[in-house]
Amino acid sequence: MLKKEFRDIMKPVLAILSILLIVPLLALLKLPLNDTFRFVTIRVYRIVTSVTGNVYLLSFIFLFGALIFWIANMSGFSTFKYEHKDRAFEYLLAFPLSRTRILQYKILTRLSVILTFVALYEVLAFLFLTGLRSVQGSLFFLFDPLFFPLWVVFIFLTGFFISLFEQKNWIAVISLIIFIATVVISLAIRILIISGSGAALRSSSLNGTAATVAALIILGILAAAFFPVYRRFDVKSAHIHGRRFTLRVLPPLLLLIIFGLVIIL
Protein backbone atom coordinates (compact mmCIF):
# COMPACT_ATOMS: atom_id res chain seq x y z
CA MET A 1 0.00 0.00 0.00
CA LEU A 2 2.84 2.40 0.78
CA LYS A 3 4.34 1.91 -2.70
CA LYS A 4 1.00 2.67 -4.31
CA GLU A 5 0.52 5.82 -2.24
CA PHE A 6 4.01 7.12 -3.06
CA ARG A 7 3.50 6.33 -6.73
CA ASP A 8 0.15 8.09 -6.80
CA ILE A 9 1.56 11.25 -5.25
CA MET A 10 4.94 11.48 -7.00
CA LYS A 11 3.66 11.50 -10.60
CA PRO A 12 1.67 14.76 -10.34
CA VAL A 13 4.25 16.32 -7.99
CA LEU A 14 7.07 15.90 -10.49
CA ALA A 15 4.87 17.28 -13.26
CA ILE A 16 4.05 20.37 -11.19
CA LEU A 17 7.67 20.98 -10.17
CA SER A 18 8.74 20.94 -13.82
CA ILE A 19 7.25 24.45 -14.02
CA LEU A 20 10.29 25.60 -12.00
CA LEU A 21 12.37 25.24 -15.16
CA ILE A 22 10.83 28.50 -16.38
CA VAL A 23 12.91 30.70 -14.07
CA PRO A 24 16.35 29.23 -14.91
CA LEU A 25 15.37 29.50 -18.57
CA LEU A 26 14.62 33.21 -18.18
CA ALA A 27 17.93 33.74 -16.39
CA LEU A 28 19.77 31.82 -19.10
CA LEU A 29 18.19 33.99 -21.79
CA LYS A 30 19.05 37.15 -19.81
CA LEU A 31 15.48 38.46 -20.02
CA PRO A 32 14.89 41.22 -17.41
CA LEU A 33 11.72 40.40 -15.51
CA ASN A 34 10.53 44.01 -15.35
CA ASP A 35 10.47 44.20 -19.17
CA THR A 36 9.17 40.69 -19.76
CA PHE A 37 6.28 40.83 -17.28
CA ARG A 38 4.40 44.11 -17.25
CA PHE A 39 3.03 43.61 -13.75
CA VAL A 40 6.55 43.84 -12.23
CA THR A 41 7.41 47.52 -12.03
CA ILE A 42 10.88 49.05 -12.18
CA ARG A 43 10.58 50.08 -8.55
CA VAL A 44 9.79 46.56 -7.35
CA TYR A 45 12.58 45.21 -9.51
CA ARG A 46 15.08 47.56 -7.88
CA ILE A 47 13.87 46.73 -4.37
CA VAL A 48 14.20 43.02 -5.06
CA THR A 49 17.67 43.30 -6.55
CA SER A 50 18.86 45.57 -3.74
CA VAL A 51 17.75 43.04 -1.12
CA THR A 52 18.74 39.78 -2.80
CA GLY A 53 21.17 40.82 -5.50
CA ASN A 54 19.48 38.38 -7.88
CA VAL A 55 15.89 38.83 -9.00
CA TYR A 56 15.90 35.43 -10.72
CA LEU A 57 16.84 33.66 -7.51
CA LEU A 58 14.07 35.43 -5.62
CA SER A 59 11.58 34.61 -8.39
CA PHE A 60 12.69 30.98 -8.24
CA ILE A 61 12.11 30.83 -4.46
CA PHE A 62 8.67 32.45 -4.61
CA LEU A 63 7.62 30.21 -7.50
CA PHE A 64 8.93 27.18 -5.61
CA GLY A 65 6.87 28.20 -2.56
CA ALA A 66 3.73 28.75 -4.67
CA LEU A 67 4.18 25.33 -6.28
CA ILE A 68 4.51 23.71 -2.85
CA PHE A 69 1.16 25.29 -1.89
CA TRP A 70 -0.25 23.88 -5.11
CA ILE A 71 1.20 20.44 -4.38
CA ALA A 72 -0.21 20.50 -0.83
CA ASN A 73 -3.65 21.44 -2.14
CA MET A 74 -3.55 18.79 -4.88
CA SER A 75 -2.25 16.12 -2.48
CA GLY A 76 -4.99 16.76 0.04
CA PHE A 77 -7.90 16.78 -2.40
CA SER A 78 -6.63 13.70 -4.28
CA THR A 79 -6.16 11.52 -1.18
CA PHE A 80 -9.12 9.30 -2.10
CA LYS A 81 -9.14 10.20 -5.81
CA TYR A 82 -8.49 6.69 -7.12
CA GLU A 83 -10.95 5.08 -4.70
CA HIS A 84 -13.62 7.43 -6.08
CA LYS A 85 -12.52 6.97 -9.69
CA ASP A 86 -12.29 3.16 -9.61
CA ARG A 87 -15.15 2.68 -7.14
CA ALA A 88 -12.69 0.79 -4.98
CA PHE A 89 -13.68 1.77 -1.45
CA GLU A 90 -14.85 -1.76 -0.72
CA TYR A 91 -11.31 -3.02 -1.46
CA LEU A 92 -9.76 -0.31 0.68
CA LEU A 93 -12.01 -1.06 3.64
CA ALA A 94 -11.45 -4.82 3.13
CA PHE A 95 -7.71 -4.51 3.81
CA PRO A 96 -6.56 -6.23 7.03
CA LEU A 97 -5.82 -2.77 8.40
CA SER A 98 -7.68 -0.61 10.85
CA ARG A 99 -9.21 2.62 9.58
CA THR A 100 -6.71 4.53 11.67
CA ARG A 101 -3.81 2.74 9.97
CA ILE A 102 -5.28 3.49 6.53
CA LEU A 103 -5.42 7.18 7.40
CA GLN A 104 -1.84 7.03 8.66
CA TYR A 105 -0.64 5.59 5.36
CA LYS A 106 -2.62 8.17 3.40
CA ILE A 107 -1.47 11.16 5.44
CA LEU A 108 2.13 10.25 6.23
CA THR A 109 3.13 9.30 2.69
CA ARG A 110 1.84 12.62 1.37
CA LEU A 111 3.26 14.68 4.20
CA SER A 112 6.68 13.05 3.83
CA VAL A 113 6.83 14.14 0.18
CA ILE A 114 5.48 17.63 0.86
CA LEU A 115 7.68 18.31 3.90
CA THR A 116 10.79 17.25 1.98
CA PHE A 117 10.16 20.13 -0.43
CA VAL A 118 9.22 22.41 2.48
CA ALA A 119 12.60 21.72 4.13
CA LEU A 120 14.40 22.74 0.94
CA TYR A 121 12.26 25.87 0.67
CA GLU A 122 13.00 26.77 4.30
CA VAL A 123 16.76 26.70 3.67
CA LEU A 124 16.42 28.97 0.63
CA ALA A 125 13.93 31.28 2.38
CA PHE A 126 16.03 31.77 5.51
CA LEU A 127 19.04 32.56 3.34
CA PHE A 128 17.43 34.91 0.82
CA LEU A 129 13.89 35.97 1.82
CA THR A 130 14.30 37.21 5.38
CA GLY A 131 15.79 40.47 4.11
CA LEU A 132 12.48 41.27 2.44
CA ARG A 133 10.69 41.67 5.78
CA SER A 134 11.51 45.38 5.71
CA VAL A 135 9.60 45.81 2.42
CA GLN A 136 7.06 43.03 2.87
CA GLY A 137 3.47 43.38 1.80
CA SER A 138 0.38 42.17 3.62
CA LEU A 139 0.67 38.64 2.14
CA PHE A 140 4.39 38.15 2.67
CA PHE A 141 3.69 36.08 5.81
CA LEU A 142 2.50 33.27 3.52
CA PHE A 143 6.07 32.90 2.25
CA ASP A 144 7.80 33.92 5.47
CA PRO A 145 9.85 30.86 6.57
CA LEU A 146 8.40 31.21 10.08
CA PHE A 147 4.84 30.57 8.89
CA PHE A 148 5.28 28.78 5.56
CA PRO A 149 5.30 25.18 6.94
CA LEU A 150 2.15 25.85 8.97
CA TRP A 151 0.28 27.10 5.91
CA VAL A 152 1.40 24.19 3.77
CA VAL A 153 0.09 21.73 6.38
CA PHE A 154 -3.14 23.74 6.70
CA ILE A 155 -3.77 23.66 2.95
CA PHE A 156 -3.04 19.94 2.83
CA LEU A 157 -5.26 19.02 5.78
CA THR A 158 -8.23 21.10 4.63
CA GLY A 159 -8.12 19.27 1.30
CA PHE A 160 -7.66 15.93 3.03
CA PHE A 161 -10.67 16.34 5.33
CA ILE A 162 -12.91 17.08 2.33
CA SER A 163 -11.43 14.47 -0.02
CA LEU A 164 -13.35 11.49 1.37
CA PHE A 165 -16.64 12.83 0.06
CA GLU A 166 -17.24 12.65 -3.65
CA GLN A 167 -19.94 15.26 -4.17
CA LYS A 168 -17.94 17.83 -6.11
CA ASN A 169 -20.50 20.62 -5.86
CA TRP A 170 -20.52 20.43 -2.09
CA ILE A 171 -16.73 20.15 -2.01
CA ALA A 172 -16.49 23.39 -4.01
CA VAL A 173 -18.97 25.14 -1.69
CA ILE A 174 -17.23 23.98 1.48
CA SER A 175 -13.82 24.92 0.09
CA LEU A 176 -15.03 28.44 -0.72
CA ILE A 177 -16.59 28.85 2.74
CA ILE A 178 -13.39 27.56 4.39
CA PHE A 179 -11.38 30.16 2.47
CA ILE A 180 -13.78 32.99 3.39
CA ALA A 181 -13.91 31.90 7.04
CA THR A 182 -10.11 31.75 7.28
CA VAL A 183 -9.69 35.25 5.83
CA VAL A 184 -12.50 36.81 7.90
CA ILE A 185 -11.45 35.21 11.19
CA SER A 186 -7.82 36.09 10.54
CA LEU A 187 -8.72 39.76 10.03
CA ALA A 188 -10.93 39.72 13.12
CA ILE A 189 -8.19 38.20 15.29
CA ARG A 190 -5.72 40.75 13.93
CA ILE A 191 -8.05 43.59 14.93
CA LEU A 192 -8.51 42.10 18.41
CA ILE A 193 -4.74 41.77 18.87
CA ILE A 194 -4.15 45.35 17.73
CA SER A 195 -6.89 46.77 19.95
CA GLY A 196 -5.58 44.82 22.91
CA SER A 197 -1.86 45.45 22.55
CA GLY A 198 -1.43 48.39 20.17
CA ALA A 199 0.63 46.24 17.79
CA ALA A 200 1.99 47.72 14.57
CA LEU A 201 -0.42 47.58 11.64
CA ARG A 202 2.20 46.42 9.11
CA SER A 203 3.72 43.58 11.06
CA SER A 204 4.42 40.36 9.18
CA SER A 205 4.52 38.47 12.48
CA LEU A 206 1.14 39.93 13.48
CA ASN A 207 -0.42 38.89 10.16
CA GLY A 208 1.08 35.42 10.44
CA THR A 209 0.02 34.93 14.07
CA ALA A 210 -3.58 35.98 13.41
CA ALA A 211 -3.81 33.79 10.32
CA THR A 212 -2.29 30.81 12.14
CA VAL A 213 -4.82 31.05 14.97
CA ALA A 214 -7.63 31.24 12.40
CA ALA A 215 -6.24 28.21 10.56
CA LEU A 216 -6.10 26.15 13.76
CA ILE A 217 -9.72 27.02 14.54
CA ILE A 218 -10.81 25.96 11.04
CA LEU A 219 -8.84 22.70 11.26
CA GLY A 220 -10.43 21.94 14.63
CA ILE A 221 -13.91 22.28 13.12
CA LEU A 222 -13.02 20.10 10.10
CA ALA A 223 -11.43 17.40 12.26
CA ALA A 224 -14.41 17.36 14.65
CA ALA A 225 -16.70 16.78 11.65
CA PHE A 226 -14.47 14.34 9.75
CA PHE A 227 -13.48 11.70 12.30
CA PRO A 228 -16.94 10.81 13.66
CA VAL A 229 -18.24 10.45 10.09
CA TYR A 230 -15.18 8.48 8.95
CA ARG A 231 -15.55 5.95 11.78
CA ARG A 232 -19.02 5.08 10.44
CA PHE A 233 -18.13 5.36 6.75
CA ASP A 234 -19.21 2.54 4.42
CA VAL A 235 -19.55 2.28 0.64
CA LYS A 236 -23.30 1.75 0.62
CA SER A 237 -24.20 5.22 1.82
CA ALA A 238 -21.32 7.50 0.81
CA HIS A 239 -23.69 10.34 -0.12
CA ILE A 240 -25.32 10.14 3.31
CA HIS A 241 -21.94 10.44 5.02
CA GLY A 242 -21.07 13.38 2.81
CA ARG A 243 -24.29 15.11 3.82
CA ARG A 244 -23.58 14.44 7.51
CA PHE A 245 -20.10 15.89 7.16
CA THR A 246 -21.47 18.96 5.39
CA LEU A 247 -24.13 19.55 8.03
CA ARG A 248 -21.51 19.28 10.76
CA VAL A 249 -19.10 21.70 9.08
CA LEU A 250 -21.23 24.46 7.57
CA PRO A 251 -23.02 25.84 10.69
CA PRO A 252 -19.88 26.57 12.75
CA LEU A 253 -18.07 27.97 9.71
CA LEU A 254 -20.96 30.31 8.91
CA LEU A 255 -21.15 31.40 12.56
CA LEU A 256 -17.43 32.15 12.49
CA ILE A 257 -17.87 34.28 9.38
CA ILE A 258 -20.71 36.24 10.98
CA PHE A 259 -18.72 36.69 14.20
CA GLY A 260 -15.69 37.89 12.27
CA LEU A 261 -17.71 40.34 10.16
CA VAL A 262 -19.24 41.83 13.32
CA ILE A 263 -15.75 42.55 14.68
CA ILE A 264 -14.42 43.87 11.36
CA LEU A 265 -17.40 46.11 10.63
Same domain? 92 vs 172? no
* Residue 244 domain flag: yes
For the cut 60, the answer to whether the pLDDT of residue 204 exceeds it is no
- Closest CA relative to residue 146, chosen from 180, 165, 163, 121: 121
User: Does a structural domain hold residue 54?
Assistant: yes
User: Which residues constitute the domain of residue 196?
Assistant: 164-265
pLDDT tens-digit readout, 21-48: 665 555 555 545 445 444 444 444 444 4
Q: Which of 93, 61, 78, 82 lies closest to 230 in space, CA to CA?
A: 93
Asked whether residue 130 is assigned to any structural domain, the reply reads yes
pLDDT of residue 132: 59
Pair 96, 178 in one domain: no
Q: Are residues 133 and 191 in the same domain?
A: no
Q: To the nearest whole percent, how much of the chain has pLDDT over 70?
A: 67
- My answer on whether 62 and 114 are in the same domain is yes
CA distance 78 to 237: 20
Distance CA 95, CA 12 (A): 26
Q: Flag whether 158 is in a domain.
A: no
Residue 71 lies in a domain: yes
- Write down the pLDDT at residue 47: 46
Eight-class DSSP state of 40: S
Residues 117 and 213 in one domain: no
Same domain? For 179 and 116 the reply is no
Whether the pTM exceeds 0.85: the reply is: no
Residue 173 lies in a domain: yes
Same domain, 25 and 132: yes
Considering its fold, how many domains does the chain have in total? 2
